[in-house]
Structure 1
Amino acid sequence: MKSIKILAVAALCTLAFSCNKKEETTSVENKDSAQATTVVEALSQESAHPDDAALVKEAQSKPLTTIAFSETDHNFGDIKKGEKKEHVYEVTNTGTNPLIISNVKPGCGCTVPDYTKEPILPGQKGKITLHFDSSNFDGAIYKAADVFLNVEKAPVKLTFSGNVIP
């Protein structure tokens, strides 16, 4: 078990610094890569950054509410290398207390978030926009951002994917 955690930490470190390097095109059909991704995703939830616990605690210190997203995953399709893309994720407060988005934490420096800072009243909508710079990438990309808000199961993960072409 200890060796799996060490391997997971090494994989996470590699992923954390991947924004500063060109990403190689990988095939989704590659079983080893797919299995490694699954292991890293599972263990990354287990070994979250210490600051994340504080962000969850802060978000959940407010009266909890419920939400509905228009979508939590977006596919940009083909992206020309160097293009800057953005996508707006719409969130609706379906609960009875104001919805407060306390932070949006992208997994990489290539993604910059923008979000509704004011409390979102019951029945109202807010927005979370993820801005992506494709300059340092080639091939398939898959990016995520954690959204910290006052709901029971926080953070909520928003993702996007695409294929960066030269």
Structure 2
Amino acid sequence: MKKTLSIIALSIIGFGLVSCKKENKEVAGKETVATDSTATTAAHADPTLAPASTETADPASNQPLTTIALAENSFDFGNIKKGDKVEHIYEVTNTGTNPLVISEVKPGCGCTAGDFTKEPILPGKKGKITLHFDSSNFDGNVNKYADVFANVEKAPIKLTFTANIQP
């Protein structure tokens, strides 16, 4: 009797593990499909571009692709006082033939916030991405970033900034 119950219990546990493994494989397969094409092309073409994130669905990915040009993708605030709240505007130009749709600006940490042009940016037109930084909890040199999700082939686009926080 004990042997039969043990076999049944192991069968149930084993079935549960197989089911979990199958679900994980399906999720992993979706992630691989979502990131493979952008990760390899982004890494080879431009080291400042990060592989696509699979944490959230990107609404811009449903839009026809376009191309983008940045006036700059990094900025140095130089020396700032601890507690200062600073911001920098990154100018973007739609260099493609379809409207540019920025769907999200995702900062790397809570000390940084992003604003961006919400309406589609028509071909040849310019838009803005503003990064706001609160230096209250930092000392010395800092390097921060934000990922910009848009309907471009090599999304997300990584914007970076540095600052030297002084007391």
TM-score of the two chains, using structure 1 as the length reference: 0.68
Unaligned runs of 5+ in 2: 1-46
* 1:52-67 paired onto structure 2 within 5 Å: 52=56, 54-55=57-58, 58-67=59-68
- Tell me the percent identity: 68
Q: How many residues align?
A: 119
Rounded Cα–Cα distance in structure 1 between residues aligned with 2:144 and 2:159: 8
Distance 1:50 1:123 in 2: 30
**Partner amino acid, structure 1, of 2:84:** E
Letter in 2 for 1:114: D
Shift of 1:51: 1.6
Amino acid at match of 1:66: T
- Within 2, Cα distance between the matches of 1:123 and 1:49? 27
1:34-65 deviation per Cα after TM superposition (whole angstroms, max 9, x unaligned): xxxxxxxx9xx67x76424x22xx32210000
- Structure 1 CA distance, aligned partners of 2:53 and 2:68? 25
* 1:101 aligns to 2:105 (yes or no): no
The answer (yes or no) to whether the contact 1:134–1:164 under 8 Å persists in 2 is: yes
| Runs of 5+ consecutive residues of structure 1 not aligned to the other structure | 1-41
Asked if the contact 2:93–2:125 (Cα under 8 Å) also holds between the matched residues in 1, the reply is yes
Asked which structure has the greater CA Rg, the reply is: 2
Is 2:145–2:158's contact at 8 Å kept on the other side of the alignment? Answer: yes
Quote the residue 2:55 is aligned against: 51
RMSD: 1.7
Instruction: Specify the alignment match of 1:147 in structure 2.
Output: 148
State the TM-score, normalizing by the size of structure 2. Answer: 0.68
Runs of 4+, deviation exceeding 6 Å: none
Name the SS for the 2:88 alignment partner: strand
Query: C-alpha separation between the residues in 1 aligned to 2:115 and 2:123?
Result: 21
